[in-house]
Amino acid sequence: MSALASLGSLLRSVMDFAPPLLLAAQGGVLSERSGVVNIGLEGLMRFGAFFALLGAWATGSAWAGIGCGAAAGAAGALLHGWLSIRWRADQVVSGVALNLLSVGLVTFLLEAAFHTVGTSPAVTPLPPLRVDSIDAVPLLGPIVSGHTALTWAALATPFALHFVLYRTTTGLRIRAAGENPRAVATLGVSVAALRYGCVAGSGVLAGLGGATLSLAVLDHFDNQMPAGQGFLALAAMVFGKWQPLGALGAALFFAGAVALEESLQSSFPQLLDAVPKGFFLALPYMLALLLLAGFVGRAAPPAADGVPYDPEGR
Amino acid sequence: MADARTLAGEGWRRALLDPKRFPIVIPVLAVVIALAAGFFAILATGKDPISGYAELALGGFGSRAALGETAIKAGVLLLTGLSVLVAFRAGLFNIGAEGQFIVGAITAAAAGHAFGGLPKIVALPLVLALVMIAGAVWGLLPAWLKVRRGVHEVISTILLNWIATYLVESWLVTGPLAARAVGAEPGTVSIAGTAEVGHGARLPRFVPQSRLDLGIFLALGTAALVWWLLARTAWGLEIRATGASPRAARAAGIPTGRRAFEAMGLAGALAGLSGALLILGTEFRYPGVFRTGYGFDGIAIALVGGLHPAGAAAAAIFFGAVRAGSMRLQLLGIHRSFADILQGLAVLVVAGHFALQALLLRLRGPDRPPAHAVPTAAPNPGGAS
């Protein structure tokens, strides 16, 4: 295999691995820019992955399944939002509760629906998109062809979110709600409404990320899902300095580390003897930690991130 | 302040729900609500919830063997719960108990194999000491990152969990520490996991036909020690002051950074010890496939236990029994993940306890939680960074 072709297959793997992570990381950015910490991304992805599969299985339509996954993510996120915004719950505790609940609840439902705690039956996944004329292009064709519409939507999401956050009035208000909510309230804009919207949006994105796992990457739900991808999305959000495009870069980088590990395993197994697999797997987390510690440049969360807004406080 | 309505009818109810006066009420309500929700969950799947809960109780407390299983699980849960609790009291949210647990477990497996040939009186204390040191180091990392580099411990401990998981499971257990068949070619792995822990390093068992071991007694003793440290020593007062208000504590001359280090070191040691209990008591090696989650369970134990060591012990015994009993639930076709659901629901209720208070007090007028009701009598480390 030529070097160029290996690079091509590597890029193709990145496009396979990145979307779930990418979507969830954008969800994290959206929620935290409005001032609500969302540790529950892992649980929301799990809900999204399971209910997407369940929806697709019940209706026979992958797109209906995707809708169910997004709705399940939004529902879970709204529970978290209701507790943190309306009842000023500790947002980390509430997010952890969501993660804990998702582990048991989804296993329980999987068993109730399919009488298994391993993998669900397979369904018809999202159809891959192919254009014959692009397929024919050497190198480029194999990279961009055969992905689902969800992959392309995932890749477009950071740009859309960037536009909303930095080029629209609503975006300015969202960012202000995360930095100085009192200033937003002074303008007569509801901080709670902004935050509810963003938390629900983060649930939709994380739910879609989960749905990507069960209906685009694979064609079934696996009880291991999302296997830490929600936590990795949090790391991508931090690594991307709480910015949509930064999180995109981080998610692509993390997906690249996984893709590299997989391609090395198949083409240079002897290298994995020298550098154990565990190091590749731990690499994204170590890099995020180094970044946070200021060794790779400083990153700071929004000033009011995680602080409940009390309209009558000082 | 106290209007006519409060004085007339709501006073006692409000007082009862005030975590400062009756810290036990919210946790008990959380468990009751979780059990009630679980009742309907079983009903919804077409099974019989009454015999379900009967099986759960039998499996948790119904026999000598059941009690032993409950005790084993309770000991492990209590120690990770104490880990989260100690950090929480110092104002730090230790989501990293999971990673510290894994580091403790692999240390127990390695040291237990290396020193397991020594007499128990030497081997066991030695291995446990090494385990606590390793756990403490993994706990001190986020403390250092927080105090010196300003990294929020919630993010750093989540990252450190995965670093520990991958380095241990995809490197140490399959590489340098993997068990090898005796006399076989080097590199042939006979059993998935690490080499067996020697008999000298195993926790002693006391009761025939039961796996009951020293673990629960170690854990309960540790809980008493933690209570004494926090409630009865000047150091504990300074820890709690650091957690309640770091600025006020600093103004009073308390070295808050140092207290944060010490609290996280202790938290890491406790979670590490928990991992050791599982390895030295029942597993006897770090298995090839080790799905733990005990560190995350510790968060539930600490919160549902009202952040008090005695409460944590009660929560650990309750959830330990639920976990042991859930094996019997399988007889009725109810999956044992039911235990996780109960635990998650209970934490959700504790997180939303303001909503619960409002619901029970039937608050009318301005929709605000009572101003004097402070979350679970403890600091709010997940909040402002």
* String of DSSP letters for B201-250: GSPPB-STTS--BTHHHHHHHHHHHHHHHHHHSHHHHHHHHHHH-HHHHH
* Predicted ipTM beyond 0.85: no
Q: Is A279 helix (H, G, I), strand (E, B) or coil?
A: helix
pLDDT at A279 over 90: no
Contacts of B368 in chain A (CB under 8 A): 312
Q: Per-residue confidence at A162, pLDDT binned at 50, 70, 90? A: very high
pLDDT of residue A47: 95
pLDDT at B87 over 90: yes
- Alpha-carbon gap, residue B281 to B142, rounded angstroms: 29
Give Cα separations from A143 to A5, A148, B375 (angstroms). Answer: 10, 13, 52
Inter-chain touch A91–B358, beta carbons under 8 Å: no
Contacts of A235 in chain B (CB under 8 A): 155, 158-159
Inter-chain touch B351–A234, beta carbons under 8 Å: no
- Whether B119 maps to a domain, the answer reads yes
Q: How far apart are the first and last CA of chain A?
A: 65
pLDDT of residue B351: 81
- Whether B12 maps to a domain, the answer reads no
- Alpha-carbon gap, residue A281 to B163, rounded angstroms: 8
Which among A83, A97, A306 has the least Cβ separation from residue B383?
A306
pLDDT of residue B377: 38
Show the tokens assigned to A177.
């709600």
Burial class (CB in 10 A: 0-12, 13-18, 19+), A60: exposed
* % of chain B exceeding 90 in pLDDT: 25
pLDDT at B379 over 50: no
List the one residue out of B385, B31, B38 whose CA is nearest residue A305.
Answer: B385
Domain segments of chain A: what residues?
3-292
Q: Which of A47, A100, A225, A275 to mutate to test the interface with B (most CBs of B within 10 A)?
A: A100
Task: Select the more confidently predicted residue: B188 or B208.
Answer: B208
pLDDT at A173 over 80: yes
- Alpha-carbon gap, residue A56 to A68, rounded angstroms: 8
pLDDT of residue A70: 93
- Alpha-carbon gap, residue B105 to B120, rounded angstroms: 19
Q: Per-residue confidence at B304, pLDDT binned at 50, 70, 90? A: confident
pLDDT at A152 over 50: yes
- Alpha-carbon gap, residue B135 to B146, rounded angstroms: 17
Q: What CATH number is given to the structural domain containing B275?
A: 1.10.3470
Inter-chain touch B162–A231, beta carbons under 8 Å: yes
**Total beta-carbon pairs less than 8 A apart between chain A and chain B:** 175
Task: Select the more confidently predicted residue: A182 or A27.
Answer: A27
Q: Per-residue confidence at B277, pLDDT binned at 50, 70, 90? A: very high
pLDDT at B284 over 80: yes
What pLDDT, in 10s, does the model give residues B38-85?
888 888 888 888 888 888 888 888 888 888 889 999 999 999 999 999
Instruction: Give the pLDDT mean for A22-47.
Output: 92
Q: Does domain A3-292 have CATH number 1.10.3470?
A: yes
Instruction: Give the pLDDT mean for B327-336.
Output: 81
Q: Which residues touch B308 (CB under 8 Å, ≥6 apart)?
A: B23, B85, B227
- Whether B205 maps to a domain, the answer reads yes
Give Cα separations from B186 to A247, B57, B114, B169 (angstroms). Answer: 44, 49, 19, 20
Query: Nearest residue on chain A to B296, judged by CA atoms?
Result: A100
Residues spanned by the domain of B93: 23-377
Task: Select the more confidently predicted residue: B32 or B383.
Answer: B32
Show the tokens assigned to B164.
């520990």
Instruction: Give the pLDDT mean for B367-374.
Output: 46
pLDDT at B383 over 50: no
pLDDT of residue A74: 94
pLDDT of residue A296: 57
Structural domains of chain B, count: 1
- Whether B73 maps to a domain, the answer reads yes
pLDDT of residue B219: 92
pLDDT of residue B2: 47
Instruction: Give the pLDDT mean for B153-175.
Output: 86
Which among A97, A286, A312 has the least Cβ separation from residue B163?
A286
- Whether B9 maps to a domain, the answer reads no
What pLDDT, in 10s, does the model give residues A199-224?
999 999 999 999 999 988 888 888 88
DSSP state of B123: H
pLDDT of residue B363: 56
* Nearest-10 Cα torsion for B162, A296, A235, A148: -110
pLDDT of residue B362: 67
Residue A235 to chain B, least CA–CA distance (Å): 7
Inter-chain touch B338–A281, beta carbons under 8 Å: no
Q: Per-residue confidence at B185, pLDDT binned at 50, 70, 90? A: low
pLDDT of residue A297: 58
Contact A73, A199 (CB under 8 A): no
Contact A254, A236 (CB under 8 A): yes
Residue A298 CB neighbours (<10 A)? 12
pLDDT of residue B357: 76
Average pLDDT, chain B: 82
Strands B178-180 and B189-194: antiparallel
